[in-house]
Structure 1
Amino acid sequence: MLRHDLHSTDNRHMRGIMRILPGIMLGVWLSLSAQAQTTFQGSVYLLAGIPQGAFRANVDNAGFGLDFDVGWRFQHAPLFLGAELGFMIYGVERRKEPFSMTIPDVTVDVETVNNMAMGHLVMRVQPALGRLWPFVEGLAGGRYFYTRTSIESEQQEEIAASTNYEDVALSYGYGGGVEIELYQKATPRRRQRLLLHVGGRYLYGSEAEYLRKGSIRRVNGRVFYDVYRSRTNVLIWRLGLTFHF
């Protein structure tokens, strides 16, 4: 009972943060947009994620994926407001199986992938110091854990697929890093820029149920899932490119 109460309290705190942050972002955007022009910004990143705490006790390997964010930068204030979408693969298993019991001489590739998709609202404070753009940021949103198994032909064409297990978790955190200006071009209204992004984030995650590599067992034609449940904290490192339009 105590464990359940503690997790319920944590989830209430996370929901509170997620309710507050969009309101703060909207208020800041409305107050500044009346005074300053905005510049559209988009970024693409490679990411590596390292599970933390109880999540790491269950998933002891790093995950890799892609991340994207878009939003608005205020030209006369060191502030970026936007949204982020990304995904990370934290386990892959591949094996060959007969196409069917009656056609054992034809085999197919079976692939099981453990995935974590994520989406957050992002508020970033980022002054320009010459060609260096250091930043700190806060973010809140959610994550979607799912394990998917697919059958592929020798030509890598998907024949069939199924989602084995799925769950969602609330997510919030903070981060920091630096962007290095690689290129800029002045236009009549603004400066266009290309920057190299190097940064890290620590994301706190509520409890979720998920599978890991080796969680799916097949015994005498039946399938059994070893399901894990924990908080889903993760440390993420990102390397990418940012564009100011």
Structure 2
Amino acid sequence: MKNLLCGIILLFTISHTAFSQEGFGGINFNAGIPTGDFNAEVGNIVFPSISINGLYKIPKTPIFVGGELGYGRYGTEMTRSSNIINGTEQSFRIRRNNNAVNLTGVVRVMPVTSFLVRPFVEGHFGGIHTYTRSRVRENRISEPISSGTEVYDWATIYQLGGGLMIPLGKGNDTFIELKVNYVQTGNMNILTKNDASYNDQGNVTLSPRNTAFQLIQPSIGVKFEF
């Protein structure tokens, strides 16, 4: 059902491209700061992410529609163990990365003004996929001798916020974008970097937690008009 919902949102945004007279595309670098119950769950950590996006204007309105694809990492942890292969005392690196991928439809209201900057408000809605992967290596640069996905889940995600687009020179089609969004997801089973523990024999115990992401997400990006 969630995959179907994301597909419908994507088709809706693509369907508007044929009616567009103005568009923007670009890349954003984001820093998610936990808030509310989520902050109490995971503490004061920053969730960095990167996203690519495209927006198309509905003719004769200040409304832009489009989509965004983002990837982030909400924690990484490296441990060493000499109990990976029986009969050897060699120490191996175990790297565990907690990842998130999200796909959302975007609606932005951005009227034309007489000011240098272009203010806007926007909303996102779509789906998020979280997953934790581990890799075992002999050293930092060697090929993994073992890897796999340990915990994964899906949920809905929405974002609400606003910001400014600042042109780089008069009449330029390149903009710096500054914005802040509030991010909320449905509950998911996730791991953080503190949710894996090892005993004396090197056996790992994973303790997933069921929680929702609640983030204040400042962002800086570059947008190109087309």
| Equivalent residue letter for 1:235 | I
- Is the 8 Å Cα contact of residues 184 and 194 (structure 1) preserved in structure 2? no
Q: Kindly provide the CA deviation profile for residues 55-110 of structure 1, in whole angstroms up to 9, marking residues without a partner as x.
A: 222111121121111232346532221111112212111123336333324x4332
Secondary structure at 2:61's aligned position in 1? coil
Aligned-partner residue type, residue 152 of structure 1 = R
Alignment partner of 2:24 out of 23, 41, 46: 41
Equivalent residue of 1:38, what SS? coil
Q: Distance in 2 between matches of 1:157 and 1:70?
A: 38
Give the unaligned 5+ runs of structure 2: none
- Tell me if structure 1 keeps the 8 A contact 2:93–2:140: no
Instruction: Give CA deviations for 1:120-177 in whole Å, capped at 9, x if unaligned.
Output: 1000011233431111001101111211111235362441321110111111131100
Q: Which has the higher helix share?
A: 1
> In 1, distance between residues paired with 2:112 and 2:156?
32
1:244 aligns to 2:206 (yes or no):
no
* Structure 1 residues 241 and 218: alpha-carbon distance in aligned structure 2, compared to 1, 3 A threshold: same
2:154 and 2:125 map into 1 onto residues whose CA distance is 14
Match for residue 97 of structure 2 among 110, 113, 120: 113
Tell me, in whole angstroms, the C-alpha distance in 1 between the residues paired with 2:80 and 2:189: 28
Q: How far, CA to CA, are the matches of 1:87 and 1:76 in structure 2? A: 33
Structure 2 equivalent of residue 142 of structure 1: 127
2:38 is equivalent to residue 55 of structure 1: yes
CA distance in 2, matches of 1:110, 1:221: 11
- Conserved? CA contact 1:139–1:174, under 8 Å: yes
Give the Cα separation in 2 of the matches to 1:114 and 1:49: 14
Residue 38 of structure 2 aligns to a residue whose secondary structure is: helix
- Using structure 2 for the length normalisation, give the TM-score: 0.83
Report the equivalent of 2:157. 171
Shift of 1:184: 6.5
Does structure 2 conserve the Cα–Cα contact (< 8 Å) formed by 1:49 and 1:88? no
Instruction: Tell me the residue number matched to 1:127.
Output: 111
Q: Distance in 2 between matches of 1:114 and 1:127?
A: 38
1:150-165 to 2 correspondence within 5 Å?
Answer: 150-154=135-139, 156-159=141-144, 160-165=146-151
Q: How well do the aligned residues superpose, as a CA RMSD in angstroms? A: 3.0
CA distance in structure 1 between the aligned counterparts of 2:42 and 2:143, rounded to whole angstroms: 27
Cα distance change, pair 163–55 in 1 and its aligned pair in 2 (3 A): same
1:232 to 191, 213, 223: 213
Is 1:134–1:179's contact at 8 Å kept on the other side of the alignment?
yes
Q: Letter of the aligned partner of 2:136 in structure 1?
A: I
Give the corresponding residue for 1:90: 74
Q: Note if contact 2:99-2:131 (Cα within 8 Å) is conserved in structure 1.
A: yes
Q: How many residues align?
A: 218
- 1:28-70 Cα deviation digits (max 9, x unpaired): 949x92xxx5234211111100122222221111211211112
Distance verdict in 2 for CA 1:155–1:207, change over 3 Å: closer
TM-score by length of 1: 0.77
> Share of identical aligned residues, percent?
24
> Residue 78 in 1 paired to residue 62 in 2?
yes
Instruction: Indicate the residue corresponding to 1:181 in structure 2.
Output: 167
Secondary structure of the corresponding residue to residue 118 of structure 1: strand
Amino acid of the residue matched to residue 167 of structure 1? D
Decide whether aligned partners of structure 1 residues 167 and 180 sit closer, same or farther in structure 2, where only a CA change above 3 A counts.
same
Provide the C-alpha distance between the structure 2 equivalents of 1:241 and 1:146, rounded to a whole number of angstroms: 28
